[in-house]
Amino acid sequence: MIIAYTSLLEKLAKSIEGNFKLVPIITKKFPDGEKYIRISNNVKNEDVIFLHSMALNPDESIMEYLLIIDALRSMECNTITAIIPYIPYLRQDKRFNLGEPLSAKVISYLISLGINKLVTIDPHLHRFKDLSELFKIPCINLSAIPLLVNYYKRNFDINNSIIIGPDIESEKLVKIAANILSLPYFIFEKQRISDKEVIVEGEIKELSLKGKNAIIIDDIVSTGGTISKITSILLNNGVNRVDVLVSHCLLSEENYKKLKEIGLNELISTDTIPNPFSKVSIAPLISKVIGEINDKRSN
């Protein structure tokens, strides 16, 4: 089995355990911005694991991805399993206004072209409840929440804490965290008005929050609007400390400063998207799933 990767995921590729051949993919830019792609080794008749990042610059990375898949297929590889830790464009999962694209469907169609299987981590699934509703190929949906929660447990005091979910869609991830930490949880209700404005509601009057530590769990933080509102509500109701554990962090430094000013204590994310808060590596998750894929191929 061959693991192919671009420079953005070189560190992850080299941290994966197992007897795999690592194949770097050469990428360059022409003066007008077009991409040049070349697979550096022959992959004919090989089962290829392709590690690709679509974080931070999704439009460019999607085009790069499509060119790489075509290059791999042209070399007559046996199978391609694409591992994309963070998938962009899934938040537009409904035509909210006339004339809008259904971006989640578009990106799923493009990713599926030419591959046999997809592996991703905590995709932003709200109106689509499962990857099978978007993709016609086999998919593996991994969760980084156990990694984040165990990191938190090792480094923070979890006594007198409560798990908080920002909306009903976060409930699945919240339950994972609550079960691991043996803590109670509460789910807020969220209504999104625009890409920057949300309304957060929830009957927390019955909860005894005074003096507690709150741990907010979510799949993605972007502008920080939801986290900001929930942090304010929690602190105003007597919570002692608010921390956030999130799989994918797109938060800007400016928005992070706003969260700190409101009273957020700690923001912890994985390295699916490079950022200053990436304290937890997804390498163990990726290593495990690659090992399982390799074992199935060998049997």
Torsion of CA 155, 150, 90, 141, to 10 degrees: 160
Are the beta carbons of 13 and 25 closer than 8 angstroms? no
Q: Which residues does the annotation mark as catalytic?
A: 190
Cβ contacts of residue 133 below 8 Å, gap of 6+? none
Q: At 280, phi and psi to the nearest 5?
A: -125, 125
Four-CA torsion 33, 11, 176, 264, nearest 10 degrees: -70
| 255, containing H or E segment | helix 253-262
Task: Please report the beta strands in the chain, taking only residues with DSSP state E, as ranges in sequence order.
Answer: 2-5, 21-29, 35-39, 47-51, 79-84, 117-121, 139-142, 161-165, 185-187, 189-192, 198-201, 213-221, 241-249, 266-270, 278-280
Find out whether 201 and 188 touch, Cβ atoms under 8 Å: yes
